[in-house]
Structure 1
Amino acid sequence: MITHIVLFKLKDRSEASVARTAQVLKDMEGKIEELKFLEVGVDIIHSDRSYDIALVTKFESMEGLNAYQIHPVHKKVIEHMSEVRESSVSVDYEV
């Protein structure tokens, strides 16, 4: 199982902006066959080092993760994130 985690810091960190972007991420659920698990979390601490949104996804294999990366639904999400994010970091690991 491959786990792909991305943390996003948004340009507009207002509650409405964060909620809207979290929903864009959640809307991928059920639309990408290779995506076996999706969880979106919104930060509740709001410290200086906090990121606004966490995206946790899981795939059966690297092939599944690679297919997700180029899937049209994910590409639309990337377009949105490119407009709203200030920065992001990610980690991918296999269990």
Structure 2
Amino acid sequence: MTANLSAPLRHVVLFSFKDGASADQIDAIVSDFESLEEAIPGVADLEWGTNVSPEGLNDGFSHCFALSFASVEDRDAYLVHPEHQRFVSTLGGCLEKSLVVDYWAR
């Protein structure tokens, strides 16, 4: 599919935390993730929330983060940015699994 250059590129990240992860540990990860919006140029928007679906189809994923970028180049720069890499390196102790999907908004 060809990108719509006027539409934002969305980068959606889902987290499932280990059973032993404390609320304080999860809150720290959320806060740290939120800080990436200001720390990394090119992040146009970042929002997040926790699963509230009654369908029971979340496969253990509880937290969803959606970042918006104006271009593939901005997204790619985010992925290799030292602050993003630092953040990713902190997840091992609490994170059970993650899922990432990127798409052009319509």
**TM-score category, normalised to shorter length:** 0.7 to 0.9
Map 1:34-53 → 2, pairs under 5 A: 34-44=42-52, 49-53=59-63
Percent of matched pairs sharing the same residue: 25
Q: State the shift of 1:44 in Å.
A: 4.8
For 1:26, the equivalent position in structure 2 comes to 34
In structure 1, the gaps of 5 or more residues are none
| RMSD (CA atoms) | 2.1
In structure 2, the gaps of 5 or more residues are 1-7
2:93 counterpart letter in structure 1: E
Deviates more, 1:30-39 or 1:45-54: 45-54
Q: How many residues of Structure 1 are paired with residues of Structure 2 in the alignment?
A: 95
Say whether the 8 Å CA contact 1:18–1:52 is kept in structure 2.
no
1:74 counterpart letter in structure 2: H
Q: Distance in 1 between matches of 2:96 and 2:38?
A: 27
Which consecutive aligned stretches of 4+ in structure 1 deviate over 6 angstroms post-superposition? 45-48
CA-to-aligned-CA distance 1:2-51 (integer Å, 9 cap, x gap) = 00001001123432222121111111121111111011223356987341
Say whether the 8 Å CA contact 1:22–1:42 is kept in structure 2.
no
For 1:80, the equivalent position in structure 2 comes to 90
Tell me the TM-score normalized by structure 2.
0.77
Q: Distance in 1 between matches of 2:63 and 2:69?
A: 20
Relative to 1, partners in 2 of residues 1:42 and 1:19: Cα closer, same or farther, differing over 3 Å?
A: farther
